[in-house]
Structure 1
Amino acid sequence: MRNRAVPASILVGVGSYVPPRKVANEELAERLGRSPEWIFQRSGIRFRHVVEPGTTSGDLAVAAGREALSRSGAGDVTAVVVATTSPDRPCPGTAPSVASRLGMTGAIALDVQAVCAGFVYGLGVAQGLIAAGTADSVLVIGTDTLSLSVDPDDPTSMLFGDGAGAVVLRSGRGEEPGTLGTCVLGSDGGGRDLITVRGGGSEERSKAGGALADPYMRLEGREVFWRAVEHMTSASRAALDAARWKPEEADRIVAHQANARILTMLAQRLGIATDRALSNIEQVGNTSAASIPILLDHADRAGDLKPGHRVLLTAFGGGLTWGATTLVWPRLERSH
C-alpha cells in the first residue's frame, strides 16, 4: 500500500456572537464595594455582555456557528465540536442540539470541557478527526454563559462575560494559508481547586445526606495568574518550535482574554512586542472558551488580522488545562 499524506486542517471561516446587554463597571461597583476605575485597573475590563433570562450557551453557539458557516464556503460540514463549561444541560451534551439547530442532523457532535482552554482543546480534537479521515470539515465552537455561574457578591464576578465564537476547519494541504499547526496541550489535575464549581456533579451526589456543594465558580486569582503565565508561555514556545518560528516572527498573539496584565506579561516572557498581543477584553471581559474565537472574528473584521500574518493562539483554564497552536491567517469571505 502507498502511504497517503495526512490531511491538514485549514481554517476557512470564523464568526462570533455576544448578547446585546452590556454591563459596565459602574453597574457592578457599588455591589462589589469597588470603584469602576479600580475594576478596570485590576482586570482591563470596562464592559462585559451578559445573557437575558432564557438565553443559553447553546443559543449563543448557534448564532456564532451560523456566522462562521456563512463565511466558510466549506459546503457540508460533517462534525461539530462545542467547547463549553456551561452546557445547556448536564445530559445530553450541547453539541448535538447545536448541530441539529444548524441543520446538521446526523453529523458527529461532541462537547469538550477544558474551561477557558476549551477552544484550543477543541481545535486539537477537530484536527484529529480530520487527520484520521473521520470528518472532512469541522465546526469548532467555544461558548459560555459564566454570568450564570458566578457569585454576584464575589469580586471575581467582575471578570466574566457571555459569548460564543466559532471557526470552520476543512481538510486540505499543509502548505495552504490557514493551516493549523501542532496543537500543544497539557493539564495538571492537582490544581483543580484553583478554578472550580464544586456543586452539581457526582462528587456532590455521591455524598448522601451531605450539605449541597457550592454552586458558584470559585477562582484563586493570585495563584491562577502565575500559573496562566507559566503554562501559556511554555505551551506557546513549544507551538512556535513546532512551526519553526522564532518568537519575533509571530505577527500576532491571540491569547485567552483572562486579564489584561496576563496578556502583557505573556508577550514579555515570549520576547514578542506587546503591541502584537491582540485584545478585546476591555469590551467583552473574560468569555472563557469563547474568548479566542470571538477575538479572532473581531480582529479579522477590524483589519488587525491580515492575510499572511503569523498567528500564535494560546489559552489556560481550569483543570488545570492549557494549550497553544499556530497558523498563517488566511483570506476569509465576508458575511453573506
Structure 2
Amino acid sequence: MVGYGAGITGVGSFLPKKVMTNSDLEKIVDTSNEWIIERTGIKERRIAEDDMATSDLSAIAAQRAMENAGIVPEDIDLILVATITPDHLFPSTACMVQKHIGAINAAAFDINAGCTGFIYALTTAKAFIKSGIYRKILVIGSEALSKIVNWKDRNTCVLFGDGAGACIVEPCEEGFGMIAEELGSDGRKGDVLIVPAGGTRKPTSLETVEEGLNFIEMDGREVFKFAVRIMGKSSKSVLKKANLKTEDIDLLIPHQANIRIIDSALKKLNLSKEKVFVNLDKYGNMSAASIPVALDEALKVKKLKKGDNLLLVAFGAGLTWGSIVLKWNKED
C-alpha cells in the first residue's frame, strides 16, 4: 500500500546461560583455542540446556521484543520463525511459540532458508505489511544448533552456537523502515551444507544414526568461497536498489559466521571496521539468530539512531543469500 513503510518497532534477544569456550572444546575434540580464533574469530558460544528447544529460546526473545515495542501478545497478527532447528518436523515452531506466548490472534508458520532465514522472514513480513493483510508481525530467528552438531567433527562443532533474536514489524512513516531487499538461492549447491538424514529423502533409521547422518555436514572450502563472493555482491546490489552508496551506510550487520568472511566483505565494500557490528567472538554462528541478536546488541550500545541507514546481509544453506537496507525508524 502506498503511504507508509514497514519498519522494526521492537527488538529482543535471548542467549542460554551455558558458555562453551574454545578451551572446553579442546577437551572433547582435536583442536586448539589458537586455531579456532585464527580461522574463525570465535572464542566461545552459548549452549542450550537439554530440555530447552528452539521454541523456548524464541518465546523469551519474543517477549522482550514485544516489551520493547510496547505491545501485548494479543496484538500480534502473524508469527514468522526462521529456523533450521525446529522443535518438530510438524507442527511448526511458530505455532509452538504462539502457544508459549499466548498470541491467540496470530497466524503462524516457519521459514527455512538456513542462515539467511531472518532476512527471508523480514522480507516476507514487509510484504504482508505493505499488502495491508497484517499490521503487527513477530519475526524471530532462533536456533538450537548444538543439538544437531556432531561433537566428534572438529571442522563443524567449533563453529555453531544457540540463541534467539526477535523483532516486531509494523507500518511506519513513509521513507523509513525497509527500503530495499534482495533474496537469492542456488539449489544446485545444496549438498555443501546439509543434514543428510531425517527427512523424506533419507528417513531417520538405526543406520543413519550410527553413520552420523543426522548431524550437520559442511564442505567448508566451498561454503567459504561462496560466502566471500556473495556477501559483497548482494550488498552492492541492494544498495543500488536503495539508491545508496557504500559511504551512505551507517551500520552493517552481517551474518556472524566467520571473521575472515566479514573482513572480506568489508574490503569489497570499502567499508571501515567502525561501521560493522560483530559479536561472533562471543556466540559463534547462530544461523538465523545471528543477525537479530546482533541487532539487539547494537541497539543496546546505541550504534543506531533514527534516520541511520542499516545494511543486513547473510548467506546460508540452500545455498541462499539475502540483504536488506533499512532507514532506521525507531526512536531511542
Question: TM-score scaled by structure 2?
Answer: 0.94
Larger displacement relative to structure 2 (229-238 or 186-195)? 229-238
Quote the residue 1:247 is aligned against.
246
Question: What TM-score do you get using the length of structure 1 for normalisation?
Answer: 0.93
Counterpart in 2 of 1:200?
A: 198
Structure 1 counterpart of 2:38: 41
Residue 69 of structure 1, aligned match among 66, 71, 90 = 66
List runs of 5+ in structure 2 lacking aligned partners: none
Q: CA deviation at 1:100?
A: 2.3
User: Superposition RMSD on alpha carbons, in Å?
Assistant: 1.8
1:78-98 deviation line (CA, Å, top 9, x unaligned)? 111000000000111010120
Note if contact 1:115-1:289 (Cα within 8 Å) is conserved in structure 2: yes
The answer on whether the counterparts of 1:47 and 1:282 sit within 8 Å (CA) in structure 2 is yes
CA distance in 2, matches of 1:288, 1:6: 34
What's the offset of the Cα at 1:106? 3.1
Q: Distance in 1 between matches of 2:298 and 2:200?
A: 40
Deviations 1:121-164 (A, max 9, x none): 00011111111111111110000010111110112110100000
Distance (whole Å) between structure 1 residues aligned to residue 322 and residue 3 of structure 2? 22
C-alpha displacement of 1:275: 2.7
Structure 2 counterpart of 1:226:
225
Alignment correspondent of 2:181: 183
Distance in 1, Cα, partners of 2:273 & 2:8: 25
**SS of equivalent to 1:286:** coil
Partner-residue secondary structure (3-state), 1:312 = strand
Cα deviation code 1:242-296 (max 9, x no counterpart): 1111011111110100001111101111121133121000111110000000000
Please tell me the residue identity of whatever aligns with 1:269.
Answer: K
Query: Paired residue for 1:32?
Result: 29
Instruction: Give the equivalent residue in structure 2 for 1:310.
Output: 309
Q: 1:164 to 1:209 in 2, by over 3 A?
A: closer
1:127-166 correspondence to structure 2 within 5 Å = 127-155=126-154, 156-166=156-166
C-alpha change, 1:22 and 1:209, in structure 2 (3 Å) is closer
Q: Is the Cα–Cα contact under 8 Å of residues 7 and 130 in structure 1 kept in the other structure? A: no
Distance 2:153 2:306 in 1: 42
Counterpart of 1:205, as a letter, is P
- Structure 1 53/308 Cα, relative in aligned 2: closer, same or farther at 3 Å? same
Alignment match, 1:295: 294
Look up the match of 2:281: 282
SS at match of 1:183: strand
Residue type matched to 2:163 in 1?
G
Which residue does the alignment assign to 1:170? Answer: 170
Q: Residue 13 of structure 1 corresponds to which residue in structure 2?
A: 10
Q: For 2:202, what is the secondary structure of its paired residue? A: helix
C-alpha distance in 1, partners of 2:243/2:106?
A: 35
Q: How many residues align?
A: 327
Aligned to 1:265, the other structure's residue is in SS state helix
- Overall identity of the aligned pairs, in %: 36
Structure 2 contact 208–214 (Cα < 8 Å) conserved: no
CA distance in 2, matches of 1:6, 1:62: 32
For 1:71-150, what aligned pairs fall within 5 Å after superposition?
71-74=68-71, 76-150=75-149
Provide, for residues 9-41 of structure 1, a one-character-per-residue CA deviation record: whole Å limited to 9, x for no partner: 111111100000001110001322222121111
CA contact (8 A) 1:81 1:112 kept: yes
* Kept in 1: contact 2:79–2:108 (CA 8 A): yes
Aligned 8 A contact 2:179 2:327 in 1: no
Gaps of 5+ in 1: none
Distance 1:209 1:97, change over 3 A: closer
2:19 pairs, out of 19, 22, 26, with 22
Contact 1:50 1:161 in 2 (8 A): yes
